[in-house]
Every structure is written in C-alpha cells, then in structure tokens.
C-alpha cells in the first residue's frame, strides 16, 4: 500500500502549496515509510523533483527538499508519493516519482506480466509502467496493465497531468470552491484534512471512476479531457479437483503465485519432465515470479524438445487456462509460444550504471559511514560513499588495517561492482590491501579546495552539495559539524 497526493494549482499562493506538500509527505507516511518523494512543475514548465528511500517525515527535513520548496514561485502541477516497498528493493531508483524520458510517474499498487509492457520480467513494476506510458499510446499502455494500480503522471511532451486507476486501488479528487484548482489523494479523509489545515475550501470530494483516464492541460482555458480504457481483468475459470498446498503451521497457502489470464503470454522457467503412470509426458515450468511450478506443456506437441532444453532456461508460454490465485496453482495447461530460449528485453536503466562512472582498477575516494569490528580475526567490514557527486555506495572487508574509522576519508582501488545477489552494478567493492587514509587540508580561498564557510575545514563533495546555506551570505557550504550547529542556532529542522 502506497499513498498518492497531487494538485493542479490555478491561483493558490506558493506558500500554501509548499505547506501542503510538506504536510502531505508527513501524513501520507501512514501509507508507506520505505520511500518518499515529490515533483513540482512550475508555470514556466520547469520541473524539479527529489526522492529518497526514507519516510516522509525525514525527507521534509533534508536541505534539498527545503531548497526546492523555497525556490518554486508559481507551482502548476504537483505529485507527492509515499512508498510501501513491494518489489525492486528500497533504494533511490525504486522510490517515486519514477522518471523515464518525458514521463514522471507515481504509482500505488502492484502490477505483473511486465514482459507485455516491453520490460524485463524481473523489472521494477512502476518503472515498467513509466516506460510503457512513454513508448506506447497511453490507452494502449493502460489496457496492458495486469494487477492493482492508481496512477498519476506528468507528460512533458504535451505538458499535462494525468490520472488513472482500476478498481483495486482508491483515488479521490477534491474540487476547490470558486477555482479550477484540484487536489488528489489516496484517502478522502486525509484530503479533506489537508485542505482544511491549509484554509483550502473544497466544493466536493469524489472518487475517481475505475477505467477512467483524466488528462489536465497546463492551459486553464482547455477543458479537462476524460476518456475510458478497458481494465485488463483475468477471466474466471472453473476447475475440477484442484487444490492448494497449505502450510502445516499457519494454514496459509505456501509459496507465491502470479495471476495469469487465459491466453496471456508469460515467461516460464523450465523445470524438467513430468511423467504420469498412463505414459503421458509433459514439460513442466515455473512462472518466473513463483516459488513452485504450475504450468505443463504436452510433450507430444513438441517431440524430443526435452532433449534440447536445460533446467532453468526461460521460455515464452501462453496460458490455455488462467491462474487466479493460490487455490489454482498446479499443472495448468499452457503451450510453448517459441522453442527458442528466452533472453528477455533489456530494461533501460533510469540511473547510469556504476560501470559508466568508474572502472575496475581505478582509485576511488570515499568516506566511511559505518565500521563493524570483528574480534575473531581483528578484521572489520565497512560501508561508505564515494567522495564525489555520484555518491556511489562503497563496501569492503579488511584484515590488514584494523584502524579504519567512521566518518574518515580513504582512497583504494576498485575491485569489482556487485549486488547482494551477485549481479553487477549496485555498489563498489574495493581492494582491502590498497586502502590509504587521506588527511584533508584546506586553504581558504584556494583554487583546489572547497572549505567550510565557518571553520575553514576541507569539505567533501557531499558536504558541498548537501550543506549549502543560501540565506547566510559569504558562507557557502559548511562541514557537517558546523552545519549541525547552524541548524540548531537557526532553529531549522534538518
């Protein structure tokens, strides 16, 4: 369960909008604390957005948030999102808004069958939706969605705010009295409270109709366009003696099951040959999103195909029968769409991979955030961020230098790029025997160093970017210690 909030502003003061966004991020956190973010489109069509895998009450205290809200003069459209993580992990890339080409999207719900959207089967579902809306006609993309969704997105090609949903996720719209301004939210009660708190008088609050696409132009003289689309609903089916596999302790059905409609194409992982005592033989498959198999293909339709297939290979299948839940999980009939091993489309990354920013063997400069001492062999593991504008994660394990310290600066050679599951591209691993501590120095006014505006200490790139204080002249950026003192003195939340 995620939470959506949005607005179309036709005359409200920017201070009211700024307060509305901050209060939305905090109250909407009741619907999700795994990530939060917002997007603002100004009347001159400049767009600013910021997101982090943090609860809303933390995001509103960060300097980039306060800086963006202070800089916006004539907000026209707004998208606010609080995330309850479902797939893709909790990180910046999966926090919302999702930006792909000219589409900036927020999404509440979970959709499946991502290959039908043109994405990889294991892609982040909200990113796959944004890709589909960018690369296909909007109605076509909406009618491909399978699952639960309430969507809001900004289309920079035609400068419109768009809203759509199906019956599985709520979305309410509040019309402001004597105005063409609109407010949106996942909960009508929260929408009413936010409006009242900010002295916004609503004419009414109505629920968006499922299967309806609302398109709102930047031009207040252009009438809002309402169209309909067909909701992709799996077709019910009657089965014979088919049951679930219950958990002996909890009574819940064991495993995870993906809903698949009749005649829908999907990707299955080959799991070997299923043989019956009456000499019937089948190729059996697991759906790529499931923990157990549930699909069989008659081997007679593909003679000797089992001789060329390897367990674990992926194939494109088509469901003869639908699977609508855990009670329908085993031995459902399917056909092979293709006997070629499925490689899957390449999902275009929204964020440049680490390999494009760094190279194995190069030196990387980093600041440690956490250091964990291992007493068994006097070794330690550590985690930090690179000391540049990319802020890539650095992780390592070291047994040669037991003196690594938290919040200290080091350089080391890059060993490889890795993810927790072993795939490349998530964080940097370094060579343990190449770690060298850096003692930073700073010459105020020097060309090669950036110094703290108060104590003249050398600044990291992170401090330069995050610790700016534009309201204090001639101070530039501050080191973390001075910035902490500054926020206390100025009574600002950070």
| Model pLDDT for residues 396-455, shown as the tens digit of each residue | 877 655 567 777 788 889 888 877 655 555 788 888 888 887 765 565 544 445 677 777
Shared domain for 186 and 327, answered yes or no, is no
Q: Is a pLDDT exceeding 90 seen at residue 215?
A: yes
H/E element holding 410?
Answer: strand 409-418
Would residue 247 count as lying in a domain? no
Q: Is a pLDDT exceeding 70 seen at residue 273?
A: yes
Would residue 238 count as lying in a domain? no
Between CA 486 and CA 320 the distance in angstroms is 66
What would the mean pLDDT of 89-109 be, rounded to a whole number?
A: 94
Would residue 178 count as lying in a domain? yes
Query: First CA to last CA across the chain, in angstroms?
Result: 27
Share of the chain above pLDDT 90, in %: 42
pLDDT in tens, 454-489: 777 777 766 776 777 654 444 567 788 887 777 665
Angle, in degrees to the nearest 10, between helices 63-71 and 14-27: 150
Which residue range forms the structural domain that includes residue 321? Answer: 265-336
Higher pLDDT, 45 or 423: 45
Would residue 243 count as lying in a domain? no
What would the mean pLDDT of 340-345 be, rounded to a whole number?
A: 74
Q: What is the pLDDT of residue 226?
A: 95
What would the mean pLDDT of 268-280 be, rounded to a whole number?
A: 79
Shared domain for 167 and 42, answered yes or no, is yes
CA angle in degrees (0–180, nearest 5) for 157-163-164: 120
Q: Are 186 and 172 in contact (CB under 8 A)?
A: yes
* Cis status of the peptide bond prior to 97, with omega within 30 of 0: yes
Shared domain for 224 and 158, answered yes or no, is yes
Shared domain for 82 and 199, answered yes or no, is yes
Which of 206, 228, 250 marks a domain boundary? 228
**Worst-scoring range by mean pLDDT, 145-159, 235-249, 287-301?**
235-249
Q: Is a pLDDT exceeding 70 seen at residue 238?
A: no
What would the mean pLDDT of 360-381 be, rounded to a whole number?
A: 76
Q: What is the pLDDT of residue 172?
A: 97
What would the mean pLDDT of 378-390 be, rounded to a whole number?
A: 75
Domain count along the chain: 4
pLDDT band, very low/low/confident/very high, at 77 (cuts 50, 70, 90): very high
pLDDT band, very low/low/confident/very high, at 293 (cuts 50, 70, 90): low
CATH number for the domain spanning 396: value is: 2.40.50.140
Shared domain for 279 and 188, answered yes or no, is no
Would residue 344 count as lying in a domain? no
What would the mean pLDDT of 78-105 be, rounded to a whole number?
A: 92
Q: What is the pLDDT of residue 206?
A: 95
Q: What is the pLDDT of residue 353?
A: 63
Q: What is the pLDDT of residue 469?
A: 64
Which of 397, 422, 437 marks a domain boundary? 437
Residue 273's beta-bridge partner residues? Answer: 283
Would residue 292 count as lying in a domain? yes
What would the mean pLDDT of 162-176 be, rounded to a whole number?
A: 96
What would the mean pLDDT of 148-177 be, rounded to a whole number?
A: 96
Angle, in degrees to the nearest 10, between helices 188-197 and 14-27: 140
């Amino acid at each position: 369960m995620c939470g959506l909030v949005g607005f179309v502003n036709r005359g409200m003061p920017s201070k009211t909008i700024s307060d509305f966004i901050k209060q939305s991020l905090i109250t909407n956190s009741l619907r999700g604390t795994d990530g939060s973010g917002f997007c603002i489109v100004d009347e001159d069509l400049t767009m600013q957005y910021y997101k982090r895998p943090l609860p809303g009450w933390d995001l509103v205290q960060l300097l980039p948030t306060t800086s963006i809200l202070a800089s916006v003069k004539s907000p026209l459209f707004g998208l606010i999102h609080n995330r309850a993580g479902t797939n893709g992990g909790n990180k910046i890339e999966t926090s919302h808004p999702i930006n792909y080409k000219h589409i900036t999207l927020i999404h509440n719900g979970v959709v499946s069958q991502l290959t039908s959207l043109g994405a990889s089967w294991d892609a982040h579902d909200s990113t796959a939706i944004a890709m589909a809306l960018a690369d296909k006609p909007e109605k076509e993309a909406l009618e491909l969605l399978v699952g639960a969704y309430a969507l809001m997105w900004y289309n920079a090609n035609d400068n419109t705010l768009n809203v759509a949903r199906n019956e599985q996720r709520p979305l309410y719209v509040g019309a402001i009295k004597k105005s063409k301004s609109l407010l949106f939210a996942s909960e009508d009660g929260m929408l009413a409270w936010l409006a009242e708190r900010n002295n916004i008088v609503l004419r009414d609050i109505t629920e968006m109709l499922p299967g309806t696409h609302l398109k709102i132009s930047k031009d207040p003289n252009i009438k809002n366009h309402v169209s309909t689309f067909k909701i992709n609903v799996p077709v019910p089916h009657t089965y014979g003696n088919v049951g679930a596999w219950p958990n002996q302790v909890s009574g819940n059905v064991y495993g995870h099951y993906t809903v698949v409609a009749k005649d829908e194409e999907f990707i299955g992982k080959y799991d070997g040959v299923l043989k019956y005592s009456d000499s019937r033989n089948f190729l059996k498959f697991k759906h790529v999103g499931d923990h157990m198999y549930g699909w069989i293909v008659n081997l007679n339709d593909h003679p000797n195909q089992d001789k060329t297939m390897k367990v674990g290979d992926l194939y494109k299948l088509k469901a003869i029968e639908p699977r609508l839940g855990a009670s329908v999980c085993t031995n459902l009939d399917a056909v092979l769409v293709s006997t070629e091993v499925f490689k899957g489309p390449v999902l275009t990354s929204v964020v440049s991979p680490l390999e494009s920013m760094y190279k194995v063997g190069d030196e990387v400069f980093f600041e440690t955030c956490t250091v964990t001492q291992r007493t068994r062999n006097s070794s330690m593991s550590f985690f930090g961020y690179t000391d540049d504008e990319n802020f890539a994660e650095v992780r390592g394990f070291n047994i040669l230098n037991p003196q690594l310290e938290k919040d200290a600066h080091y350089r080391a050679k890059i060993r490889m790029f890795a993810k927790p599951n072993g795939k490349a591209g998530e964080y940097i691993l370094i060579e343990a025997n190449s770690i060298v501590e850096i003692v930073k120095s700073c010459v105020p006014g020097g060309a090669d160093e950036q110094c703290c505006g108060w104590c003249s200490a050398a600044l990291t790139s992170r401090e330069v970017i995050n610790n700016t204080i534009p309201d204090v002249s001639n101070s530039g950026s501050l080191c973390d210690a001075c910035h902490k003192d500054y926020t206390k003195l100025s009574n600002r939340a950070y």
